[in-house]
């Protein structure tokens, strides 16, 4: 995939970093940078209308006798709203925000810093990265931020965070880059967050983290807080991942196309690292490989330890996932691997996960514990999209209807249906056919997060 000129990576420029040397330098202002970038940061408003069920007491004649109808028996409507921030990344009207800002929303509007408002269409959602791309209807020649090369960012660099905290209006805060390549944050997959102490609060989600050249280095997405407010620890999705998601939206696809690795990795413990002769537990051990996958075809083996991707060190599987996922499709990635005490280099092709069999989506209904759930046949492409383990096989729950039987029981998106009443389920049609039979009880075996769970439900 290729980028438009407006999103092309800027050449790495030599920067002089130095501390203030005089009182005059301390009086310098960030106003020029704020003025340059503020118009490219917008407020994002999402909404959807929910129908609430009638009051169940209205089925009781005694209740109706005293209170009458009074609208109790009529479904009521409730409007659910969300609020966040977004960044214009293309003058034609492309806006990047967090997926959680517009998740489940049916209508989205954006408001500019000058109070103008526009309707927006959701082009692409990517829950794995917690990013979404919007298209402003009828927009043209909008001020867009250039994407910086996040790999050039260093700890201690000055940054500005721009967004709409608590809905009070556009706000600019200043800080430094506190840390890089933060993983284990738990808010998205394949991430390597930029940590900053610039004040980030609820409502800042989807806003911009910019450098001193006014370029976008990240999308603010999460805070670490015990009170719900800023405590000086905020996280931003690096511009490299933003570029990948925007690229996919421009290509007109409904899901982000990223390289498929085809192997399951595990972080090193201190004891294992010491036994391998490493001075610290940094790297990812190969636990299993998918036959015919890029990792296996490239020559990787079980127990290999991946130390770097294209010369950039990766300390754990999450850091590897980010570094590998942001490589462009069509080429190869050079992996530095520790095998038998020696470091070797292994090239791995950068290709998307294949759709090895049709998805055959089925939404179940009727009297079954999975009523309201949508099922898909698993393939490498589906497993990659849903962040499931490499080599996962069978039938997966791709969606659970709100308020459905499946939701009330506790089934979740990503559950893999392994067996019904002891019979292995190989396809979504198998599950649909099985539930057409009347049974006194259903024994459902699923795989969730690598654990096998078996439960029994009445038929």
Q: 395 forms bridges with which residues in the sheet?
A: 377, 417
Going by the DSSP 8-state scheme, the letter that residue 354 receives in this structure is P
Rounded to whole angstroms, the maximal C-alpha distance in the chain is 84
| 146 in a known ligand binding site | no
436 φ/ψ angles, rounded to the nearest 5 degrees: -75, -20
Q: Could you tell me the CA-to-CA distances from 6 to 37, 395, 399 in Å, in that order?
A: 15, 41, 36
Distance CA 270, CA 282 (A): 9
380, containing H or E segment: helix 380-385
List the catalytic residue out of 130, 157, 197, 247.
Answer: 130
Q: Which helix (H) or strand (E) holds 67?
A: helix 61-67
Question: Which member of 178, 205, 379, 447 is catalytic?
Answer: 205
- Produce one character per residue of 256-284: b if its CB has 16 or more CB atoms within 10 Å, e if not: bbbbbbbbbbebbeeeebeebebeebbbb
Size of the chain, expressed as the number of residues it contains = 459
Alpha-carbon distance of 336 to 449, in angstroms, equals: 29
205 is in an annotated binding site: yes
Helices and strands counted in the chain (H then E):
11, 25
Consult the annotation and say whether 204 binds a ligand: yes
Between CA 263 and CA 110 the distance in angstroms is 41
Distance CA(187)–CA(145), nearest Å, equals: 25
Report the alpha-carbon distance of residue 112 to residue 103 in Å, rounded: 21
203 is in an annotated binding site: yes
Q: Is 242 exposed, middle or buried (0-12, 13-18, 19+ CB in 10 A)?
A: buried
Round to whole Å and give the CA distance between 397 and 400.
7
| Catalytic residue, candidates 40, 90, 100, 427 | 100
Q: 368 an active-site residue?
A: no
Structure-block tokens of residue 151: 């790999």
Give one word for 168, left, alpha or beta, with left for phi > 0 and alpha for psi -120 to 50: alpha
Rg (CA), the chain: 25
Active site residue 114: no
Q: Is 403 annotated as a binding residue?
A: no
CA-CA distance, 117 to 112, in Å (whole number)?
6
Q: Annotated catalytic, 310?
A: no
- Mark the binding-site residues, compressed into ranges: 100, 130, 203-205
Q: State the catalytic residues.
A: 100, 130, 205
Binding positions for substrate: 100, 130, 203-205
């Amino acid at each position: 995939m290729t980028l438009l000129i407006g999103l092309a990576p800027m050449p790495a420029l030599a920067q002089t970093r130095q501390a203030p040397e005089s009182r005059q330098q301390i009086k310098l202002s960030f106003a020029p940078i704020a003025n340059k970038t503020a118009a490219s940061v917008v407020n994002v408003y999402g909404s959807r209308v929910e129908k609430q069920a009638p009051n169940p007491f209205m089925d009781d004649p005694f209740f109706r006798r005293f209170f009458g109808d009074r609208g109790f028996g009529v479904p009521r409507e409730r409007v659910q709203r969300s609020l966040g921030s977004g960044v214009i990344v293309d003058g034609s009207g492309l806006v990047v925000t967090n997926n959680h800002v517009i998740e489940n929303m049916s209508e989205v509007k954006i408001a500019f810093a000058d109070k103008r408002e526009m309707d927006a269409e959701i082009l692409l959602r990517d829950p794995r990265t917690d990013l979404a791309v919007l298209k402003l209807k009828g927009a043209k020649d909008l001020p867009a931020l250039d994407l910086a090369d996040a790999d050039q960012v260093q700890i201690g660099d000055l940054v500005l965070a721009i967004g709409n905290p608590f809905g009070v209006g556009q706000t600019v805060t200043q800080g430094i880059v506190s840390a890089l390549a933060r993983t284990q944050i738990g808010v998205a997959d394949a991430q390597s967050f930029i940590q900053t102490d610039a004040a980030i609060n609820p409502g800042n989600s989807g806003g911009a983290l910019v450098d001193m050249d006014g370029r976008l280095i990240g999308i603010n997405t999460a805070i670490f807080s015990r009170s719900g407010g800023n405590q000086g620890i905020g996280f931003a999705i690096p511009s490299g991942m933003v570029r990948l998601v925007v690229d996919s939206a421009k290509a007109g696809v409904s899901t982000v196309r990223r390289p498929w690795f085809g192997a399951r990795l595990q972080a090193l413990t201190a004891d294992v690292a010491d036994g391998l002769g490493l001075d610290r537990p940094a790297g990812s051990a190969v636990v299993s490989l998918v036959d015919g996958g890029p990792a296996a075809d490239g020559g990787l083996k079980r127990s290999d330890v991946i130390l770097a991707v294209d010369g950039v060190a990766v300390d754990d599987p999450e850091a590897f996932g980010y570094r590998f996922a942001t490589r462009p499709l069509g080429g190869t990635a050079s992996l530095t691997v520790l095998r038998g005490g020696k470091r070797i280099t292994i090239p791995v092709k950068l290709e998307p996960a294949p759709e090895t069999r049709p998805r055959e989506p089925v939404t179940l209904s009727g009297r079954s514990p999975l009523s309201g759930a949508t099922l898909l046949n698993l393939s490498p492409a589906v497993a990659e999209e849903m962040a499931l383990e490499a080599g996962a096989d069978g039938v997966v729950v791709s969606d659970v209807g709100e308020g459905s039987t499946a939701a009330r029981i506790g089934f979740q998106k990503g559950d893999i249906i392994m067996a019904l009443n002891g019979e292995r389920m190989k396809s979504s049609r198998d599950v649909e056919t099985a539930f057409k039979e009347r049974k006194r009880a259903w024994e459902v075996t699923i795989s969730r997060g690598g654990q096998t769970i078996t439960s029994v439900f009445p038929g």
